[in-house]
Amino acid sequence: MTPPRIALIAHDRKKDDMVALAREFRDFLAGCRLCATGTTGSRLQREAGLPVEALMSGPLGGDLQIGARLAEGGVDAVIFLRDPMTPQPHEPDINALVRACDVHDIPCATNLASARLLLRQLQRQG
């Protein structure tokens, strides 16, 4: 079975949660193919010790890069810890990525509880 290809994205106020989640699922995630938006990816590399392909930062186009990859069939699941309390300058890019998940029927967890459910399920399938 090929390892799941997972995209990891977190807004600034959710980055600590993302690092904690990645540590919690570290053993599983270490066997996955991971990509992330720039700052999220750097933190995951540094603080969770995971090999992550860090794309551009979200506000500079990282969400769009992940959306494009996903549309081409290159992403199996998305964990996108969004901050619902803070307006983002790149809101259209965020909506485009979530829309791409819906268009292509790719699971997209946008909060911690659903992220845990998704990761547990992927873990079970492996």
Query: Pattern 56-95, binding to ligand 13P, x per CB under 6 A?
Result: -xxx--xx------------------------------x-
Alpha carbon distance 102, 89 (integer Å): 22
Choose one: 31-39, 67-75, 103-111, 118-126; the region binding ligand 13P (CB under 6 A).
Answer: 31-39
Smallest gap, in angstroms, from Cβ of residue 55 to ligand 13P? 8
Spell out the alpha helix ranges (H) of the chain.
15-24, 26-30, 38-48, 62-71, 91-104, 112-125
* Binding site listing for substrate: 11, 15, 37-40, 57-58, 90
